[in-house]
């Protein structure tokens, strides 16, 4: 049976993948072979127009590798619908609305009012916990439709999962200081000093790091 994660548990959930990585690398060698449970905090199950792996294959892989929780997104959102509707026993699904219908939307979603309507329509399903992962670079985040998306997220207690550079993240925070942001990949390639600087900005945003590159300067 599918278990939806309460909103108050999201701060824990989105960080589970990193926590598992830290704990497993720090554990004694003698315990290295012990199985662990995994929360995949950055999963895309795209259907364009059909999935590469069928749903039953995906669920079987989750069980085989002890993936017991996922932050689920897809392009379009059909894949996320399928994961939620499967109600797979032992799997926690945290669904996010992806503002994409096709791959081309990655480059234009932030200026398209139709995408904002898509986000609002998807939200009516009643089970979403966030919006994203979406891509933004620099001043493209200043767009009116990005601001509307941020405000919609805040109003409806949703997280924002942003694949963005540091400038875009700062703009997202300025749009609404109450925004809660999961910063995917920490912008790639940023030094740890710059990442830290983004996380102590004087605002109410909650930033989270998902999958930082080990080769980033300063690591």
Q: Is the peptide bond before 24 cis (omega within 30 degrees of 0)?
A: no
Decide if 180 contacts 203 (C-beta within 8 A): no
pLDDT at residue 161, as a whole number: 95
Phi, psi for 134 (deg, rounded to 5): -125, 160
| Stated pTM of the model | 0.77
pLDDT at residue 76, as a whole number: 96
Cα distances (angstroms) measured from residue 148 to each of 143, 166, 174, 204: 9, 20, 13, 18
pLDDT tens digits in sequence order for the chain, 219 residues long = 444 445 544 543 444 444 444 444 455 554 566 778 999 999 999 998 889 999 999 999 999 999 999 999 999 999 999 999 999 999 999 999 999 999 999 999 999 999 999 999 999 999 999 999 999 999 999 999 999 999 999 999 999 999 999 899 999 999 999 999 998 887 667 777 776 665 534 333 444 444 444 434 443
Q: Which domains does the chain have, with CATH numbers?
A: 7-210 (3.20.20)
pLDDT at residue 123, as a whole number: 98
pLDDT at residue 190, as a whole number: 72
């Amino acid at each position: 049976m599918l278990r939806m994660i309460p909103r108050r548990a999201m701060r824990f959930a989105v960080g589970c993948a990193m926590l598992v990585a830290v704990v497993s690398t720090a554990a004694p060698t003698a315990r290295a072979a012990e199985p662990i449970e995994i929360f995949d905090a950055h999963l895309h199950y795209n259907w364009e127009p059909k999935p590469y792996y069928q749903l039953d294959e995906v669920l079987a892989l989750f069980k085989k590798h002890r993936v017991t929780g996922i932050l689920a997104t897809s392009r379009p959102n059909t894949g996320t619908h399928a994961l939620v509707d499967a109600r797979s026993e032992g799997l926690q699904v945290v669904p996010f609305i992806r503002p994409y219908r096709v791959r081309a939307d990655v480059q234009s979603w932030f200026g398209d009012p139709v995408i904002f309507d898509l986000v609002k329509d998807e939200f009516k399903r009643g089970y979403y916990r966030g919006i994203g992962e979406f891509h933004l670079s620099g001043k493209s985040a200043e767009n009116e439709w990005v601001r509307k998306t941020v405000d919609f997220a805040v109003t409806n207690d949703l997280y924002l999962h942003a694949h963005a550079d540091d400038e875009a993240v700062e703009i997202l925070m300025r749009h609404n200081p109450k925004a809660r942001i999961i910063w995917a990949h920490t912008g790639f390639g940023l030094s740890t000093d710059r990442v830290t600087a983004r996380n102590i900005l004087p605002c109410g945003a909650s930033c989270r790091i998902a999958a930082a590159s080990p080769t980033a300067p300063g690591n």
